[in-house]
Chains A and B, each alone.
Chain A
Amino acid sequence: MARGRMNWLKLFSTAVFVFLYLPLLIVVVYSFNDSKLNAEWVGFTLKWYGVLFDDTEMLTAARNSLLIATFSAAVAALLGTLAGMAMSRLRLRLLPALVLAPVAMPDILLGVSLLILFIMLNISLGLVSVILAHITFCIGYVALSVQARMGSMDDSLIEAARDLGASPWQAFSRITLPLLAPGIIAGALMAFTLSIDDFVVTFFTAGVGSSTLPLQIYSMVKIAVTPEVNAISTLLMVVTLLLVTLASRFNKHALRGTI
């Protein structure tokens, strides 16, 4: 009886896995198809990747995406580390709410409220506004990663360092920081990935000339479905996969971090 039910569960789960992977597989397969339409299989080609590397708009968008993700992840790593340390050591009420709310709210709300703020403050919409916006939702992920790392840290190590005559700064830079490093790196890599992935917040805070890869994909698929989008999608999948694998080497829960 129990065995029979487990088999049903397995069968059902296999179907769900097909549902999860088939769409992505279709995107990858069609990126090598020698046809303008995502329909019939005509033959193997790499020409859509060639088209991609000749598309200056796409290359600018890729550069913007990398620039934005690097800056956002760096600043979020700094602010998120401070927040994560404070949240694990101090009894705070305001900071945890501020850190988690942007993560919990539908992202369209962060997008439109920042759009109002930037226009009011006369901050022109461009790379800077997008970076400022991305930092806002990235802080939370770094803070949670660092907080978890702090939780598993042995406080007696710092006490021992202080007993042996280390100044507070020495104890921090020689003991706390090296121990926190994996948490910070995992959080920063996650922030980088989420920044590259973000569409909604960027949509509202980007201006002319600060298009990112997701924005570029959006404007392309709005007009027509072309295999060039399959090619950039496949490349993005490979890059994200590498980043996430890297992040999980530093923190084995990094993969699950956002959920």
Chain B
Amino acid sequence: MPLRLAFAVGFLALALLAALQPWLRFVLTLALATGLAVLGIMMLLRAGQVSFGHALYVAVGAYTIAFARPQLDDVLLLLAAAVLAAVVAGILVGLFVSRYRDIFFGMLNLAFSMVVYSLLEKLYWLTRGTDGIRVARPRLFGVALEGARYEWALFALALVCVAIAAALVARYLRAPAGEALSALKTRETRLEFAGVSARRVLFQAYVVSAGLAGLGGGITALATLHVTPLLVYWTHSGELVFVAILGGTANVLGPFLGAVVFELVRVHAAAAFPDAWQMILGLVLLGIVLLAARGLVGLLEELGRWWGRRV
């Protein structure tokens, strides 16, 4: 199966990069975490719905770890708590936003995320405001890891999470409720006239997407060991949508391809052109939208076909 092969090659390439350039381990772990959140965004994009507030669930995952860390000293338990909290938040908000479509869906998500942003910023006694909360480095399987070994462990854990999440989401997207996402985009009423609740189709995907963003947020918090309200600021939500479009929605590889390319372009552009890196990111997206509307994954498929014709 080519998709599995693409993931295997991608994982090897990332591991190689991380081994050759130790400072990239951290960057790539963050990229994988972003990719998990974007995987959820991609599910919603299939239904034609753009959430401009999904950083909310990234922050819920990250802050859950920050709040739970004093009581919990285990990476896996902390991640499980992050996902659980994000799923609960996704259910609460999803019950409401799954009634809405298009611009209303996008803006309501934005509104919820900005409410949480102000709460995190203002409730200083609980969240330490814009200073954020430091997270003490937790143990993994009871072992306290230091420096590079912790980074490696987290990087490997992120790869495992990505592999599992991508495999499960890929299967879900081929199941009726997953296929119905794009059916919701093209003919929502026909779904209702077949006896299917379009709202439930969107709601289920929304809760899954919240859980994935929570997992991404959890990994981010464990990598940076510091959470701030910036995690839920609207620009971060926008960034997730940006990466989703950059990577493409054709399959589950897109979000991760998009996230890795995004982070690598960002760190290199920021190092080379400290004042213009945002412009470079903008030009990259402009190029993708104009020249490869199906994103990097679409570009990759085109290349594969071109290569197939030549061989």
A binds B: no
B-contacting residues of A (Cβ < 8 Å)? Answer: none
